[in-house]
Amino acid sequence: MAEPAGETAVFVSHPHIDHVGLAGFLREEVAVHAHTDAVDLLDALSATGQGLTHGDPAWRRLTDGQRTRVGPIEVECVAVDHDVPGASGYLVRTSAGVLAFTGDIRFHGHHPERSWGFVERAAECQVLVTEGTTLGWDPGARPRDETDVRRDFTELVERTPGLVLLSCYPRDLERVSTFLGIAAAAGRTVLWTEQTAALLRLLGVAEVLSSADVPASELHAAPGSYVVAPDPDDLASLLDLPVGDGYPAPVFVHANGEPLGPFEPRWEPFTDWLSALGIPLRQIGCSGHASQDHLHLMLERMRPSTVFPIHTTAPLRLHPPTGTARVVAEYAARYDFAGRAR
Q: Which residues bind Zn ion (CB under 5 A)?
A: 16, 104
- CB-based contacts of 27, cutoff 8 Å, min separation 6: 2, 5
What minimum distance in Å lies between the beta carbon of 19 and Zn ion? 6
Cα–Cα distance for residue pair 13/101, rounded to 1 Å: 9
Cα–Cα distance for residue pair 166/153, rounded to 1 Å: 10
Nearer to Zn ion, 149 or 165 (CB): 149
What minimum distance in Å lies between the beta carbon of 16 and Zn ion? 4
Nearer to Zn ion, 189 or 287 (CB): 287
Nearer to Zn ion, 16 or 188 (CB): 16
Nearer to Zn ion, 211 or 256 (CB): 256
Q: What angle do CA 82, 131, 136 make, to 5 degrees?
A: 105
What minimum distance in Å lies between the beta carbon of 213 and Zn ion? 31
Q: Which amino acid type is present at position 164?
A: V
Nearer to Zn ion, 13 or 48 (CB): 13
What minimum distance in Å lies between the beta carbon of 103 and Zn ion? 8
The string of DSSP codes covering 6-73 is: TT-EEE---SSHHHHTTGGGS-TTSEEEEEHHHHHHHHHHHHTT---TT----EEEE-TT-EEEETTE
Nearer to Zn ion, 249 or 310 (CB): 310
Nearer to Zn ion, 172 or 223 (CB): 172
Cα–Cα distance for residue pair 62/34, rounded to 1 Å: 6
The sign of the torsion formed by the CA atoms of 173, 178, 181, 187 equals negative
Helices (H) and strands (E) in the chain, counts: 9, 16
Nearer to Zn ion, 248 or 261 (CB): 261
What minimum distance in Å lies between the beta carbon of 146 and Zn ion? 16
What minimum distance in Å lies between the beta carbon of 131 and Zn ion? 8
Q: Are strands 97-101 and 88-94 parallel, antiparallel or unpaired?
A: antiparallel
What minimum distance in Å lies between the beta carbon of 82 and Zn ion? 6
A 10 A CB-CB count for 236 gives: 9
Q: Report the SS3 class of residue 91.
A: strand
Q: CA dist 172 to 38, 208, 232, Å?
A: 11, 15, 16
- CB-based contacts of 264, cutoff 8 Å, min separation 6: none
What minimum distance in Å lies between the beta carbon of 89 and Zn ion? 12
Nearer to Zn ion, 104 or 152 (CB): 104
The string of DSSP codes covering 124-157 is: T-SEEEEE-GGGGS---SSPP-HHHHHHHHHHHH
What minimum distance in Å lies between the beta carbon of 50 and Zn ion? 17
